[in-house]
Chains A and B, each alone.
Chain A
Amino acid sequence: MLRCFVVSFLIVFFMTGGAVHSADADPASTPNGTFRPAEHAGGTLKLTAQSAPGSADPQVNYLAPMLQVEAVVYDGLMTFAKAPGPLRRHAVPDLADGQPEQLDDGRTWRFHLRKNIYFSTGKLLTTDDVVASMQRIFKVNSPTAGPYFSHIIGGSLCLHQPKRCTLDGGVVADKETGTIVFHLTHSDPEFPDRLAFGHAVILPENTSVNDTGNNAPPGTGPYRITSYNPNSEMRLERNTWFRQWDALAQPAGYPDHIIYRFGFEPESEVTAIENGQFDWMAENVPLDRLSELGQHFTSRVRLVDFLNLYYAALNVNTPPFDNLKARQAFNYAVSRRAMVIHNGGPAVAIPACQMIPQGAPGFEPACMWTKGASPSDPAPEWEKPDMEQARKLITESGTAGQKVIIVSPQTPGYLAMANELRSTLARLGYIASVRSMVQAVQFPYVQNSDNRVQVALTGWNADYPAASSYLETLLSCKTFHPHSDNSLNMSGYCDQGADLLMAQARAVAVKDQEAGDHLWAAADRELMAGAPTVPLAQVRWVTLLSSRVQGEVTAPIYQIIFSRFQLQ
């Protein structure tokens, strides 16, 4: 009996590549080391999108569709819960084996690496990979290198000389104990959340320091990208080296294969999902199909709450919106109700009047741009436009009659909002027009101050649930980079007072999160008084699933988790 057990053990051990020796190995692992949920597993998940989601380099791509794919391919030290339910404020440990230790008032963070994690190539994950991946964020010019990680000691040097980046003294690893310590120049209570964002995923040490383009580097998640042709499709299959270590951080996948096809119009995608030709589409359901879905496909529709904001960035360095009164007038004049209608109605959208969306930490209702309100006396919520006040401000600004161009992404939803803004500007006496571009072109175009974009229509999803993800990322002095395509502060706005409040909020939040939230709210009010943007609407995401999909597949930050699709 004992001999039989020993032989069986040895067989299992060798077939699993030694993975079962892990202390926290999951009992559901299959003999070849692949975790495969017992029920509803298998099948090919068929996804579709209008266009390819861009580079497959997880430290470069900033587009939501690719971040969703990368969520099941890569892991960071931390991650956001990949499970349905309410939004969690903080990240959960992923490749770290527990919550990090906060030292030195939030200036030092100590993580301990989980053991026996393998890349899809079979290479064992070590602290060297963690250090190299942190360096690579700078070397590959990741969009979040500056805003999220430049405060790691050595980070600012890395920003100036990316190829020589070492982060000496900033990231200290001990391979023996599996400990990684981050030293920051100032306290940052959000640092673990930043590490949970997709750009901080851990890649093999030897990954190229150039954008890998259509070649996806190996990851540690339940799937690996086996092929990617942006003109046609992306294919994923199981990572045979994966076994589940934490269902909340990285659940094992149900489908055996995932095929992601590109090049279909959203209208066609909806019809294809209704007919079972695809299981899910990346784009929002077109507004004209909402009624049909609400009527006939109720059980297959998912409404997902997530932190997002549609807004118009006003260029404060170019006429006419270099004039504060012109910016305030535009804010007073815009009908947020119209924006709600353009996004699918009250069941789907709510008016936005501030840069911190409802539900995000630091949100305190204060609408300055509604009838009867003012910067010194904000209302609790947006009620209706104040055209009288807007016209008075326009007269005082002396900017009426000027030409204004709104640059918008070329999608029906954005174009509807852009035309609404054009009408509003026309009512205020401007000669307004809309210029639309493919979204992948428009996003960098509107960021570059050389293009002198007057009004940039855009949307922003939270990288992680924090006020800083909106205020600091989109409107702080340090995120305005003139002449660069990578300048998320599209307004070119810089308010030293607001920046000071944000720094205070960050410092206070280390010990008192609530007090920190109040300071973020104060920074929001300070910024909105300068009206560098016109917040428009906050929407729920409406998505449609095919009839063969079972289970809850949504999650607050990622919106959708492909590994959770159970196919009949």
Chain B
Amino acid sequence: MISSSGQTTAGPWVQATRALISNRSAMSCLGVLLLVILLCVFAPFYAHHIARTDPFISNVAGTLTVNGQETDIMQPNDNPLHLGLSPIGPTWHPRSYLLGADSQGRDLASRLLYGGRNSLLISFSAALLCIIMASAVGISAGFSGGVIDIILSRLMDIMWAVPVYLFAISLSIVTITQGLHIGPITISSNSLLVPIFIIALVYVPYAARPIRGRVMTLRNAEFVLAARSLGVPEYRILLRDILPNILPSVIVLAPLLTALALLAESSLSFLSLGVQAPAASWGTIIQDGEGLIYTRPMVAIAPGLAIIITVMALNIFGDGLRDALDIRETSRRNG
């Protein structure tokens, strides 16, 4: 591209990438996000080779060695009546219950990493699926207009009218007992695909509406009208003119939807409506920690912190991405 001053300028994607890289807070958050993902990916390595424990098997009667001394994982409470036992708290030693144990005597750190795998897998997959479905709906409604637009838009309005968590909980309650049956495809109730599908579905209206709006704007843009007047087929206009122009909007939505999906997954799992035992997610670990909040608050705090850090990183990175991809903003910045 040649600028008015006669110098060659980079394309919009290169400019956006440069703008993103120059945004320190966005890049820091991307780093944090990648670190969280990396840690979670290596959960089996940590559990089997460092902590040497199976985080899915109850171990309340087990022992561990701390500072050379063998000690019970479940420890008697110090009270005159000797009532109850509590799991061991954080040892801060990676080889022996770094963050302590949960009420089943399982290594909390290992479960946190395994839980992160499921939480992140569900939230990223749900966001991706949501974007695909929302794009299909938004483009169909915005580009077709007329009856199709009316039907799809009203359908989205109806879904929007139902509080998102109430909608997700209702769907989860149905699928948790019977699984999911879509035509010939049957998904069992304890499959991760169930929360992925539910979370993706409930956020479709939130993503479809801005996409539809952008498509409607583009449909009447001069270059689209010009293409139409030249007799370019509709599908070609859609592929060559509309899709590339809505891509930045979709990309900007992705991290924000992922953050929302992560929160939704944690909420559903906390209510026993998401990931099913013995599998873990950050939400199920918080639920495990609910009963230990007085004695071992770390069980609830650790996954809570993981959620906060990940969601914050996603949101700040999403803001940076939006700033980088917003062409008008970029043009203004470039003077």
Distance in angstroms between the alpha carbons of A290 and B77 in the assembled complex = 9
For the complex, is A288 an interface residue (Cβ under 8 Å from B)?
yes
On chain A, the residues within 8 Å of B104 by CB distance are: 416, 419-420, 423
Residues of B within 8 A of A348 (CB): 83-84
Residues A291 and B74 in contact, CB atoms below 8 Å apart: no
Q: Do B81 and A301 touch across chains, with their CB atoms under 8 A apart? A: yes
Q: Is the interface of B mostly helix, strand, loop or mixed?
A: loop
Contact of A292 with B by CB under 8 A: yes
Report how far A424 CA is from B58 CA in the complex, Å.
8
Contact residue among B80, B105, B278 (Cβ-Cβ distance under 8 Å from A422): B278
Number of residues in B with C-beta < 8 Å to the partner?
29
Does A287 reach chain B (CB closer than 8 Å)?
A: yes
Interface size on A, residues (CB 8 A): 35
Interface residues of B in 63-82 (CB under 8 A from A): 74, 76-82
B28 interface hit (Cβ, 8 Å): no
Q: Separation in Å of the B47 CB from the closest CB of chain A?
A: 15
Q: Is the CB of B58 within 8 A of A286?
A: no
Q: Which 7 A-B pairs have the closest CB atoms?
A: A290-B84, A294-B79, A294-B83, A291-B77, A290-B83, A423-B58, A294-B81
Is A10 in the interface zone, CB < 8 Å from B? Answer: no
Q: Are A433 and B190 in contact (CB under 8 A)?
A: yes
Q: A286-B291, A288-B294 are in contact. Are A346 and B82 (CB under 8 A)?
A: yes
Contact residues of A between 303 and 362, Cβ < 8 Å to B:
303, 335, 337-338, 341-342, 344-348
Contact with A along B79-114 (1 / 0, CB 8 A): 111111110000000000000000111000000000
Chain B residue with Cβ nearest A417: B58
**B18-50 interface (Cβ within 8 A of A):** none
Supposing A294-B77, A295-B80, A416-B104 touch, asked if A289 and B60 sit within 8 A by C-beta, the answer is: no
Given A289-B294, A335-B60, 15 further pairs, Cβ under 8 A: A291-B294, A291-B295, A293-B79, A294-B83, A298-B80, A303-B81, A338-B58, A341-B61, A344-B85, A345-B84, A412-B291, A422-B58, A422-B278, A423-B57, A433-B190
How many angstroms between the C-alpha atoms of A539 and B105 in the bound complex?
A: 21
Q: Quick check: is A140 within 8 A (CB to CB) of the other chain? A: no
Which residues on the B side are within 8 Å of A344 (C-beta)? 83-85
Residues of A within 8 A of B291 (CB): 286-288, 412
- Min C-beta distance of B88 to chain A, whole Å: 12
- Cβ of B308 < 8 Å from any Cβ of A? no
Which residue of chain B has its CB nearest to the CB of A348?
A: B83
With the chains together, A540 CA to B298 CA distance in Å? 29
9 examples of A-B residue contacts, CB within 8 angstroms: A288-B294, A291-B83, A291-B295, A292-B294, A294-B81, A295-B78, A338-B58, A344-B85, A423-B56
Q: Annotate B241-281 by CB proximity to A: 1 below 8 A, 0 otherwise.
A: 00000000000000000000000000000000000011000
Residue of A nearest to B79 (CB): A294
Q: Is B224 an interface residue (CB 8 A)?
A: no
On whether the beta carbons of A345 and B85 are closer than 8 Å, the reply is yes
Say yes or no: A341-B83 contact (C-beta < 8 A), given A288-B291, A426-B57.
no
B57 shortest CB reach to chain A, Å = 5
Q: What separation, in Å, do the CA atoms of A412 and B79 have in the docked complex?
A: 22
> Do residues B84 and A287 form an inter-chain contact, with CB atoms below 8 A?
yes
Q: Cβ of A501: which chain B residues have Cβ within 8 Å of it?
A: none
Q: How far is it, in angstroms, between the C-alpha of A420 and the C-alpha of B103 when the chains are bound?
A: 11
Shortest beta-carbon distance from A369 to chain B in Å: 15
Given the known interface contacts A288-B292, A412-B291, the answer about A294 and B84 at a Cβ–Cβ threshold of 8 Å is yes
The residues of A with any CB-CB pair to B shorter than 8 Å are 286-295, 298, 301, 303, 335, 337-338, 341-342, 344-348, 412, 416, 419-420, 422-424, 426-427, 433-434, 542
Give the secondary structure class of A's interface. helix
Cβ of A294 and Cβ of B294 under 8 Å apart? no
For residue B293, CB closer than 8 A to chain A, the reply is yes
Q: Which residues of A contact B78 (CB under 8 A)?
A: 291, 295
Which B residues lie within 8 Å of A346 (CB)?
A: 82
Where the two chains meet, the residues of B that have a C-beta atom closer than 8 Å to any C-beta of A are: 56-61, 74, 76-86, 103-105, 190, 277-278, 291-295
Complex Cα gap A341–B294 (Å): 18
Instruction: Report the separation of the CA atoms of residues A422 and B57 in the bound assembly, to the nearest whole angstrom.
Output: 8
- Shortest A178–chain B CB gap in Å is 48
Q: Which residues of B contact A427 (CB under 8 A)?
A: 57
CA distance A417 to B215 in the complex (A): 56
| A335 proximity list for chain B (CB < 8 A) | 60-61
Contacting B60 at CB < 8 Å: which of A293, A338, A426?
A: A338
Q: What's the nearest-Cβ distance from chain B to residue A499, in Å?
A: 36
Complex: chain A residue closest to B73, CB-CB:
A341
> Known contacts A286-B291, A288-B294, A433-B190: does B79 contact A341 (CB below 8 Å)?
no
Return chain A residues, CB-CB under 8 Å to B105: 338
Question: Which residues of A have CB within 8 Å of B292?
Answer: 288
Partner of A347, one of B56, B60, B83, B103: B83
Rounded to whole angstroms, the CA-CA distance of A93 and B58 in the bound complex is 48
Complex-state Cα separation, A298 to B78, whole angstroms: 13
Report B-chain residues with C-beta under 8 Å of the C-beta of A341: 60-61, 74, 85
Question: How many Å from the CB of A420 to the closest CB on chain B?
Answer: 5
> Inside 8 A of A422's CB, which chain B residues have their CB?
58, 278
B277 surroundings in chain A (CB, below 8 A): 419, 434
* Contact between B83 and A301, CB atoms less than 8 A apart: yes
Q: Tell me the minimal C-beta distance from B110 to chain A in angstroms.
A: 15
| Shortest Cβ gap from A347 to chain B (Å) | 4
Is B84 in contact with A291, judged by CB distance below 8 angstroms? yes
Instruction: Evaluate whether A295 and B57 lie within 8 angstroms (CB atoms) in the complex, with A289-B294, A416-B104, A419-B104 already known.
Output: no
- Expressed in whole angstroms, the minimum distance between the Cβ of A131 and any Cβ of chain B is 47
Question: What separation, in Å, do the CA atoms of A271 and B59 have in the docked complex?
Answer: 30
Q: How far is the CA of A287 from the CA of B76 in the complex (A)?
A: 12
B87 to chain A minimum Cβ distance, whole angstroms, is 10
Contact B76 A345 (CB under 8 A): yes
Q: Which of A287, A290, A294, A416 contacts B80 (CB under 8 A)? A: A294
Complex contact A420–B77 (CB within 8 A):
no
A291 and B58 contact, Cβ closer than 8 Å, known pairs A347-B81, A419-B104, A419-B277: no
Q: Compute how far the CA of A292 lies from the CA of B81 in the bound complex, rounded to whole angstroms.
A: 10
Cα–Cα, bound, A341→B295 (Å): 15
Specify which chain A residues have a CB less than 8 angstroms from the CB of B190 in the assembled complex.
433
Tell me how far the C-beta of B100 lies from the nearest C-beta in chain A, rounded to whole angstroms.
14
On chain A, the residues within 8 Å of B60 by CB distance are: 335, 338, 341-342, 420
What CA separation (Å) do A420 and B56 show in the bound complex? 11
B293 proximity list for chain A (CB < 8 A): 288
Q: Which of A291, A412, A426 has the most CB of B within 10 A?
A: A291
